[in-house]
Amino acid sequence: MNRLIFIIFISIPFWSFGQIENQWQPDSIYSNRQIKKIFVYLNSPKDLSEIVDFDRNGKRIRSTEFSASYNRKTRNHKSTEKINSYEYDSQNRLIKIIDSIGKDSITFKYGTNNKLTSSRKKMGSFVYVTNYEPFKSTTTQKKDSLVVYEKTKEYDKDFYVSRIFGYYLEPKLKKVKTTENGIKNTLAYSDQTDLQRFEDNKTINNSFNEKGQLIKSDIKSIFMNDRINEYELNYKYYENGLLKSIRGYVSRYFKYEFWE
């Protein structure tokens, strides 16, 4: 009798190749329209995914993420997955985002010109550091002195993501054959001392209308060195200029509540 046994080590989480990068508008759009809440729906206008709360000055103060829906029952009985709180300094600059249980957080640092220069994202035991430049940001994660993750984002209009590229290192999956009580086993394990490099390169060709609104994104994602995924996203807006929907690979829908 042969048995295959897997021992799995999770090293670092990476961005999904299908993730929507441009689902938000600049903060000035929300503050100028006196937004109180944004309701985000995933895949269907009935499947609530997230609620973002703003104060009267247009600053985000809280975001609540909800469990995914698989059928009518899970759609009607949503559970809260995570609540993030936003903290600001005396100059109204965002300095920290922290979840309700204190496990994950992001801290932000600014230069003398009030421009964002860096951030530090903590996800459980993993730490990611991002450095910001005009039209570009680079995120890295280290294990001891070794960089095991590095991704660079480039931006259109210094806001909308137009490209993501970089690499990450993963332990190689290896197998060892053993025999126990006459039974042959194949033990599969991740060798933490032998790392394999994976390259990712996602290009996002953004199209804008005469109002400067993002209306279409043509995306080609090359991930894990040679796997390819291509798709198109289309953006629709309400008459007041707020984003209404993103249709395509993963559809999202948006509704709003306003301060009186």
Phi, psi (degrees; rounded to nearest 5) at 109: -125, 150
Record the pTM.
0.83
Number of neighbours of residue 94 by Cβ within 10 angstroms: 18
Express each pLDDT in 37-82 by its tens digit.
999 999 888 899 999 999 998 999 999 999 877 666 666 777 888 9
- d(CA 106, CA 230) in angstroms, rounded, equals 31
What CATH number is attached to the domain comprising 116?
A: 2.40.160
What are the structure tokens assigned to 58, written together?
């247009």
Look up the domain containing 75 and give its range.
2-258
- Residues 215, 248: contact at Cβ < 8 Å? no
- Residues 123, 10: contact at Cβ < 8 Å? no
State yes or no: pLDDT of 116 exceeds 70.
yes
pLDDT band at 27 (very low <50, low <70, confident <90, very high): confident
pLDDT band at 153 (very low <50, low <70, confident <90, very high): very high
Q: How much is the average pLDDT of 91-97? A: 94
pLDDT band at 16 (very low <50, low <70, confident <90, very high): very low
pLDDT band at 93 (very low <50, low <70, confident <90, very high): very high
Read off the amino acid at residue 47.
Answer: D
pLDDT of 74: 65
Express each pLDDT in 171-189 by its tens digit.
998 888 888 888 888 888 8
- Residues 232, 214: contact at Cβ < 8 Å? no
Q: 2-16, 111-125, 155-169: lowest mean pLDDT where?
A: 2-16
Nearest partner of 189 among 4, 6, 31, judged by Cα: 6
- Residues 224, 198: contact at Cβ < 8 Å? yes
Sign, Cα dihedral of 145, 16, 135, 92: negative
- d(CA 30, CA 61) in angstroms, rounded, equals 13
Domains in the chain: how many in total?
Answer: 1
**Where do we find the tokens 């709180």?**
85
